[in-house]
Amino acid sequence: MSQSTDPYEDDLDDLPSPRPVHYAEQSLLGALLLDPHRLPDIRVLGAEQFSNHAHGSLFQAMRMVPLPDPEAHRSDPAWLNAVLAAARPQAPGLTASYLHTLVQVCPWPQHAPAYARMIQSDHARRTLLMHAQRLAQTATDATLPNRAVTTLAQADALAQFLDTLSGQFAPHPGSLPRTAMPTQPTARSSEEALDEERLLLATATAHPAALKDMRWLQPDDFTQPLHAALWQCLTSLVHRAEPVDPVTVLWEAQHRGLLADDLAASDLMALVSTPVGSAEYWGERILQRALLTRACDVATRIATYAEDPANTTHQLITGSRRALADLTALRTRWQRSTAPAPPTTPRAPRSPAVSRAGPPLRATAARALR
């Protein structure tokens, strides 16, 4: 039985076929073993960017060992032996025969810069996937003490990485990835989320004045469409300066077509008639949940892009930035909701005549309540 002489062919049928970057790494290392003086042209590449640890160790050893004399290198394997000796402490599996294999698979040393760009691009893809996975893990980690802040910090790290990538690759008109997003089942609202939305609606009905300072909360932040529609009823009544109570909310809901066979008028009034706490508190809870959900969705979208090898680095940068932009508007509203209230402007001192007469009764009561 004849054996294949193709160096790219693996005899072990049970192992998966190597990815394309494996051959790019082999070809680059073979080119540099043949012509070490091309190493200065590969300065942008780091050993940590190789997908194969042994390949990265070998590349680092090439940089550590002084370059040989070009004429002597053609007939003397001393430089190859020195490189192998320097790489073995980090990659004991490397052998002299493997170095000869690398030389055999690369008869085109002049293509070394192209191979280096391939390795750099694949490393960018893997790193982007890692950042996306960290963002998703942070957004879903309920053990974090301040999950929203930590999630936004992770989103900032991802954005900074994209900025670094754009500086490493020559810009050109970028197109969006053509990767098809997986069809995800409709997420079911948790009972905790539904309870928070019900409490907000009831508390806002009892204290509608709070809604004037809650424009940072939008209907899309709710997990239940009925709750989002009722929030619109409340904000519309407040905007029109009309009375707000369970009956007026019911009337507004009727005009919006919210009453149906499965939602009686009495049920809707009961829904908005049990206030607890403050509307601002429940609104912040709902907005935080929406922020974390959006961050998780963005992470999934970017990870899907990074897992598709058909996407170029430029497409990954463009698509990932577009995905992060979907988080920006919600993040801005979250920051507005959690920003401390501005200090009140001190009142001007009263004139002596007014002071002797004494302040009005209403002003006295207002100061007593502070």
Q: Where are the domains of the chain?
A: 20-107, 119-177+291-338, 191-279
- 305-341 pLDDT, tens digit per residue, is 999 999 999 999 999 999 999 999 899 999 998 876 6
Distance CA 58, CA 88 (A): 8
Q: Got the DSSP string for 26-45?
A: HHHHHHHHH-GGGGGGGTT-
Beta-bridge mates of residue 263:
260
Task: Return phi, psi of residue 81, to 5°.
Answer: -65, -40
Confidence band for 189, pLDDT divided at 50, 70 and 90: confident
DSSP 223: S
Averaged pLDDT for residues 30-39 = 94
pLDDT surpassing 70 at residue 303: yes
pTM: 0.81
Express as a percent the part of the chain with pLDDT over 90. 71
pLDDT value at residue 304: 95
Residue type, 204: A
pLDDT at 9 over 70: no
User: Residues in the chain, how many?
Assistant: 370
Q: What are residue 359's phi and psi, to 5 degrees?
A: -70, 155
Higher-confidence residue of 369 and 252: namely 252
> Is the pLDDT reported for residue 354 higher than 50?
no
CA distance 51 to 47: 9
Q: pLDDT of 54-113, one tens digit each?
A: 999 999 999 999 999 888 888 889 999 999 999 999 999 999 999 999 999 987 889 999
Q: What are phi and psi of 146, to 5 degrees?
A: -135, 75
Average pLDDT in the chain = 86
Which CATH code fits 191-279?
1.10.860.10
The closest alpha carbon to 128, from 290, 294, 323, 291, belongs to 323
Cβ atoms within 10 Å of 39's Cβ, excluding its own: 15
Q: Most confidently modeled of 49-53, 179-183, 256-260?
A: 49-53
